[in-house]
Structure 1
């Protein structure tokens, strides 16, 4: 695990530098911008590279926006959720025109599973098995995930969630499903996030006006409203988000879990990223310590980020970098944002990172 001995030596060489394009997500307030309608707010965010209207993945994201709105924007801010024209589609983008959902769906998401050998729709946030496909076969994954988590897993390890376009494919899915209940790749949603992200988080308190765009007014929910009202601007930058803490794991278990289910353990490369992680810890109330991707070379003593095989440059140690032979060899962060070395066999929650724009090949 971690870089080879040769690669460790290369990392120490002044002529070797590893660059990573991944940028940790942050929410950027634009308090001096005149309040705008949804379209103009979108364009305001697009002026900045890699910037979008905000997508919410969980209650922590909502709390972050709620705090920013309450402190700055008395008329609230637009979010990235808005009405779409083709509600039913497969995960790979193909449209589905003859599928109907149960009841009169408004802002709710409904995703399709095979249950008792028949298609049925369910709230997308439910966790169940799912079926992926690649160029040659279907594969039932016996891990329980919500629909978006399942899609991300399939795109990371296979091709995508399975699409079914004829009776032959349906029979093959049933055969591979072995009488289990599992997600397939069909989703119905009257709304979509502007940047194309998949999120099953949907806490909407009420509908207003023509209900085409979402905003937050500092409350613990989203509201669907007209797109023409003047609201403040908060933009989202970066392509990688922090996931919720795992159950307690050893460092090695955390490394394997984050690599298998997400995109690795969290790493922090500069003061900006350190500040964003601290904000996230403040909002979530995680007391720490929680695992980071920090690991120490037992042979050479330097600390490196295991997720990206990069020697630590920026540091935020509690008492300076722990040194051999007295140091422990794995790194964690506490609720104040301070790093410390911890015995690797200690069981702690872990913070993973996830590429928010994972797509099929």
Structure 2
């Protein structure tokens, strides 16, 4: 019982550690293209600027100083090579099968905005298309074998609605792993129809997903513009070959020292259990959703120990020490 109470006090004392760290933005006054800016930031800082809130927008603008009215690269970009299947089960795909493609000549075009989803035409080839368009679609059912595992749905839906329909009634939108499966589905459809291939619209250089946006009016726009610059706090898409100043970020590591008081028969018992206690503390924080970025360690005193008795008990120990 004493051991359980001891651990509870320890966990309660450190349970308020922050789950995330703030970013520190740095303006780099070099005119470079987006890829060069990304490389520089990764070499000298953490990465090109990631912006996830209005607070970040304000902090980034403050970092620009006298250059506040200029255009600066940030880390947002359109990943035109991130095509993947709606069905994410890795065991479904053999070696190289998740990368099978049957693009129509000149596709994917990546020219028009919002072309992040893929249909198959009646000739069996694919192209990138507006996800908001309503088309028939093909579902996959893992409970059946052979060509019957493909289900053509002749209702017109957007790609997202088609995905939801297939997941609710079958397994998912159709993934095509090879030419034979492509031919099976080509023989099934009689109109251009959605399959399960899609790509991310915009993502951050550090791998973060885009959950906040600050687009300027009429942006993102059409054309070969897959990299993003900030101007007066608003975002504009440009060709990645444009040359601008840029903003990097560095994670600010905060160190917080928390003193805890524990009830135990002796500090020697605690010293013996300190590794076990620290591991339990890490697990408790993880269970509470605290980021893995938070690192914990004991603070070792000059005498090499972590735990010490306090006040009168400490004084009594010192008085009782004899030759």
Q: TM-score, normalised by structure 1?
A: 0.38
**Relative to total residues, which structure has the larger strand share, 1 or 2?**
1
Larger radius of gyration: 2
Q: Which has the higher contact order (CA 8 A, sep 6+)?
A: 2
